[in-house]
Amino acid sequence: MDLNKILDDVRSPRIKKVIVDSDTFNEMDDQYAIAYAIGSDRMEVIGLNAAPFHNDRSANFEDGMEKSYDEILRVLENIERPGYCPVYKGSRTRIEDDPEHGPVDSPAARAIIEAAHKYDETVYILTTGACTNVSSAVMLDPSIMEKICVIWLGGHCLDFQDLGEFNLAQDYAAGQILINSGVPLILLPACDHGTSALVTRLPDMQGIKGDSRACVFFRETLPEEFNGDYYENGWERVIWDIAAPGVIAVPHGYQFTIMAAPIFGDNYRYAFDKTRHKIIYMDKVDRDIVLADTFASIGSL
């Protein structure tokens, strides 16, 4: 697929069909990303996938997926959209855990395959956690690579010394498979001028205007649940994952480069080969544009 045409499509006013594939219980950013996508008038959310994760908020990879599934349902309740679209459970194990690095079959992976074949247009997969579901879908049915574009928050910026970024490290083999697959990919890295620029403080949350249940939940309830971080300037969080729907909603807030796909080395370091297939790489995101549009979209719910 021509990546210039992908960028032209991203920047076009066409309403895009999207699936959000997220480790929703891992942090507080996935919840905003889901609400942003649903509230935006530039996207039609056709499915929500629960992605797995394992940290201090989950007992193991499968538990992280189950908790993410429940959290997606909680978000839909709080934006008063229960049953808005299908919600699918994702991978219970990691591709990395399979000695042969085979796909992990799941309802989420199958939903991606089904959507790719159902619509006569590019379906965008907004991937804001481990890419296990997406990589598995591509392995289960490689023909979908001509029908989808993956927007993934994965890896650090190209000048970082390591690839220990959370989403990639959760299932490193899945990340290697995705970056090597040739599927149309918009890669959103974590660093100060990348997705880590999306720092939010309590005063920023007042940009969510309105008294709807959704507004109260995202302006007050959710920040209060994650009130343990205090810095010199008070409470703040990075809500990385809104970068994914932002690509579709406010593409003018991003700078992109089409480049040879970097290599995720087995030593957890980047390597480069100019002869490799191309991906779209995000060089920079405008925090203010993306935050303002996120809050406006949530305020419309």
- Please, what is the average pLDDT of the chain? 95
Residue 228: per-residue pLDDT: 59
Question: What CATH number is given to the structural domain containing 235?
Answer: 3.90.245.10
CB 18 within 8 A of CB 44: yes
d(CA 181, CA 133): 14
d(CA 175, CA 55): 18
Strands (E), the chain: 16-22, 43-50, 87-88, 123-127, 148-156, 185-190, 199-201, 230-231, 234-238, 254-260, 263-264, 270-271, 278-285
Cross-strand pairs, 47 = 19
Cross-strand pairs, 46 = none
Given a cut of 70, whether residue 232 has pLDDT beyond it is: no
d(CA 84, CA 7): 28
Q: How confident is the model at residue 1 (pLDDT cuts 50, 70, 90)?
A: confident
What pTM was computed for the model?
A: 0.96
d(CA 1, CA 167): 25
Helix (H) or strand (E) holding 289: helix 287-299
Domains contained in the chain, number: 1
Residue 226: per-residue pLDDT: 85
**Domain limits at 143?**
3-299
